[in-house]
């Protein structure tokens, strides 16, 4: 039996505590041996916590891999340091603040002979793979992404999300892009975008993005952080055999109005699926660094027309 991979989690914010720690605890493929947090306060009983990745390297703790859950603005230097230690590295989404950072990390990991995994957790939602399989070979006519959520509910106190490199509404929006780039057979290109910036913030609170694939199929995306009441994480794809609808972030699937309840190929959960994949990559000594969702976000900013809206006050 392969020994558990000795893992440290770096950045003990909401996503690490809510998703990563339970997923690690639920698998025998990893052994959590350390956490890294600026306050140095232990998050898991019996697991040592240090204040920085440099302190982790000097601690003498045996480390095989790290999972980096910091905000994207500081992720590159931490990941580069981890790669230099020979540690396999898993990146929360988005994998970096810029495309250049992620490509540099990919090249560094290849040169060092370690695994780099740029994760897209929404691709591991239960119905994403069934949706991809159903769309294969069908004529796709158009698609619409509606990703509207209340930032005060889902990102309370997360000031980094409003800073340059924090992505604003594209932080959840990139989840939709990770799904659409997985289920559609052709690559997508941004044709135009409208970005709505609060007067007091450096990242958009809403966006409207028009895309097409290389066959000319239109894909429209509507993102908004100001949604109150029902939240929307939906993708609709119109085809020659009816409309496929993914809802609840990819957890539910209906085709031509009929809900698909098949559990075939369904993952056991988004983050458990990520750790299952990370272990497989480490054991196979390969990397998985798909930048297509991040590239579309970058292009949305490149093509974007900026409209200023009212200040955002949490």
Catalytic residue positions, numbered:
93
Q: Which residues of 152-191 are buried (b: 16+ CB within 10 A; e: fewer)?
A: eeebeebebbbbebbbbbbbbbbbbbbbbbbbbeeebebe
**Contact call for residues 68 and 88 (beta carbons, < 8 A):** no
Strand ranges across the sheet with 88-91? 48-50, 30-36, 5-10, 65-68, 88-91, 116-118
β-strand pairing of 5-10 with 30-36: parallel
- Residue 6 near residue 65, CB atoms below 8 Å: yes
* Separation CA 228–CA 288 (nearest Å): 36
**Would the CA dihedral through 301, 302, 305, 306 be positive or negative?**
positive
Q: For 95, which DSSP code?
A: -
């Amino acid at each position: 039996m392969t020994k558990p991979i000795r893992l440290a989690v770096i950045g003990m914010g909401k996503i690490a505590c809510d998703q990563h720690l339970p997923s690690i605890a639920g698998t025998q493929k990893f052994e959590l041996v350390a956490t890294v947090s600026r306050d140095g306060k232990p998050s898991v009983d019996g697991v040592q916590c240090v204040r920085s990745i440099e302190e982790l390297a000097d601690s003498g703790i045996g480390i095989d891999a790290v999972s980096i859950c910091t905000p994207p603005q500081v992720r590159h230097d931490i990941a580069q340091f981890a790669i230099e230690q020979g540690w396999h590295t898993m990146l929360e989404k988005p994998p970096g603040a810029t495309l250049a950072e992620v490509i540099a990390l990919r090249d560094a990991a290849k040169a060092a002979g370690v695994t780099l995994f740029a994760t897209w957790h929404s691709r591991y939602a239960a119905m994403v793979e069934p949706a991809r399989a159903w769309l294969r070979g069908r004529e796709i006519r158009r698609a619409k992404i509606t990703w509207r959520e209340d930032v005060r509910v889902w990102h309370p106190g997360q000031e980094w999300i409003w800073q340059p490199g924090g992505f604003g509404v594209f932080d959840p929006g990139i989840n939709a892009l990770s799904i659409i780039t997985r289920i559609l057979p052709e690559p997508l290109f941004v044709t135009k975008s409208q970005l709505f910036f609060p007067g007091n913030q450096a990242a958009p609170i809403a966006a409207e993005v028009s895309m097409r694939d290389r066959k000319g199929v239109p894909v429209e995306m509507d993102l908004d952080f100001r949604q109150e009441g029902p939240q929307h994480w939906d993708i609709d794809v119109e085809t020659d055999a009816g409309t496929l609808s993914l809802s609840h972030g990819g957890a539910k699937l209906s085709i031509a109005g009929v809900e698909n309840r098949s559990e075939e190929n369904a993952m056991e959960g988004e983050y458990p699926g990520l750790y299952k994949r990370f272990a497989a990559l480490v054991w196979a000594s390969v990397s998985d660094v798909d930048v297509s969702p991040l590239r579309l976000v970058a292009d949305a900013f490149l093509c974007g027309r900026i409209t200023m809206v009212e200040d955002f006050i949490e």
